[in-house]
Chains A and B, each alone.
Chain A
């Protein structure tokens, strides 16, 4: 490869999922110029953005950060982490910042840390909306101010520019709020003047770490090397390899479009990309194209909904299982009647669902007539109401019916298998993503805040 190749060590698909010190060592020996990883996702639901908490536990994130911050200090190459704390809101970034400061103290290192915040002020967004700068993406429609107000937290997904600004200002470690996975991984190469198409495509391939390799469970990370008109990707474990299929198939993963990936400021087009082996472990990709577009940032907003209380039973009685749909319908009717009678109008517009695990809970579809009965089912009761107290009152009213409901009303009451006492479990509110919109910005820093912690020179911290 040419001398001007930029090598990025991507240690893991998501910070906290398990960085391996030997893989990081290998990547640095191979000449990595920077370490970059994403730390979040919307996949696990809106609760993490709404609550400002991570799906990962603190110790797991600290363990990964310790390996990476030691490597950063020893190799003197930048460490870049995006979407800190899962959802990338200010709470998540501050949580990650505090872990990093703790690790720095334990390691005795004094990095210059940039913090890039991308949580959004509601009034600023309303002004953007009023100015016609917020556009919906299908299937949602135009944004209402009520929807902005309904959100607990709103973040805008950053592109690479804020990271480049931090790196150019001398950051050893960049901790970013919500950012597209690809922008985090592409930022260093783009700063160094690597071509945009290969830089973005390499970042997309590497975003889930070893997922683009032939054995995704063997090892955690990959090394991407971006050259003048192509890039290469290889696993960080020498007993694993990439092949043209594993690399090209990754572009399909979690992407609605297999060829185009829209990012802040442009779109990556891989329709003409060619994938070929280089040696036995790496794949080279040519033909990736980046097309510039007006600069937009995607908004993510999480709102708190109504409250739920749940209960669980197991049923093995073959007589009930032979008529499980009939049983479901009758029990559901009986539970609604019970709540109307026992709680009355104060229950409000409540909702009860019975999910028959082992039968049709995941789809909710009714199995075709003649489908053989299952050996047992788990029935999950979910009550939804305006308050937690009401959801629990509804569950308690339903309790005797749910646990003892018979198939035939004139028979002795059965006792279904219940697992816990007390039987009702308060689940808290339902959290939902409310935004699928992009906001136009005058420049990539407009909705972003950059702050510094310089541990070597604390007096100079801005």
Chain B
């Protein structure tokens, strides 16, 4: 059982404009990148469950040269609304840390 936290050397999240969030997962080498880049645990359904996003809009990109995977999803609530808790979405990666990749 390997978690995101164990397989990555760095993870960050950020708003990409007021309506999207993007999470960058930098794997700790080629082996883990190749093993987990396509993991369903980082797929649209999983992201939809974790973040309340519309699964059909979730995007995933693998960047082999950086051993990284980017996942992007629309925010459930636009930035800065009545119940805003994380304006820049800089804390949203935390929810992924203990997700099991296999």
List residues of chain A with CB under 8 Å of any chain B CB: 42-47, 137-140, 245, 248-249, 252-259, 300, 305-306, 308, 351, 353, 355, 361-365, 384, 430-434, 436
Contact = CB atoms under 8 A, between A and B. Distances in A.
Given A46-B18, A362-B85, A430-B82, A256 B63 contact: no
Interface of B: 14-20, 22, 24, 54, 57, 59, 61, 63, 65-66, 68, 70, 72, 74-75, 78-88, 91, 94-95
A306 B69 CA distance: 38
A396 to B, nearest CB: 20
Contacts of B82: 305-306, 308, 351, 384, 430
A248 B66 contact: yes
Nearest to B57: A138
Among A256, A351, A384, A431, max chain B CB count under 10 A is at: A256
Contacts of A258: 61, 63, 70
A432 B78 contact: yes
Contact of A257 (B24, B57, B59): B59
Contacts of A432: 78-81
B14 A254 contact: yes
13 contacts: A139-B54, A139-B75, A245-B66, A252-B22, A252-B63, A252-B66, A254-B16, A258-B61, A308-B82, A430-B80, A432-B79, A432-B80, A433-B19
A434 B86 CA distance: 18
B94 A256 contact: no
A255 B87 contact: no
B22 A42 contact: no
Contacts of B86: 362
B18 A252 contact: no
B85 A361 contact: yes
B32 to A, nearest CB: 17
Given A44-B87, A245-B66, A362-B91, A140 B19 contact: yes
Given A44-B87, A258-B61, A351-B83, 9 more contacts: A43-B15, A45-B79, A248-B66, A252-B24, A257-B70, A361-B85, A363-B91, A430-B80, A432-B79
A212 to B, nearest CB: 14
Contacts of A139: 19, 54, 57, 74-75
Among A45, A306, A355, A364, max chain B CB count under 10 A is at: A45
Nearest to B87: A45
Contacts of A248: 65-66
A253 B19 CA distance: 15
B102 to A, nearest CB: 21
Give 9 nearest A-B pairs by CB, closest first. Answer: A139-B74, A433-B18, A256-B72, A45-B80, A256-B16, A256-B20, A436-B19, A384-B82, A258-B70
A351 B77 CA distance: 16
B72 A257 contact: yes
A431 B95 CA distance: 26
B8 to A, nearest CB: 14
Contacts of A256: 16-17, 20, 22, 59, 72
A44 B90 CA distance: 12
Nearest to B53: A139
A401 to B, nearest CB: 21
A67 B49 CA distance: 50
Contacts of A47: 80
A362 B17 CA distance: 20
A257 B69 CA distance: 11
Contacts of B59: 256-257
A259 B14 CA distance: 17
B22 A255 contact: yes
A432 B78 CA distance: 7
Given A248-B65, A308-B82, A254 B22 contact: yes
Contacts of A137: 19
Contacts of B63: 252, 258-259
Contacts of B16: 254-256
Contacts of B17: 42, 256, 436
A252 B74 contact: no
B18 to A, nearest CB: 4
A308 B81 CA distance: 11
A241 to B, nearest CB: 18
Contacts of A362: 85-86, 91
A355 B20 CA distance: 23
A254 B87 contact: no
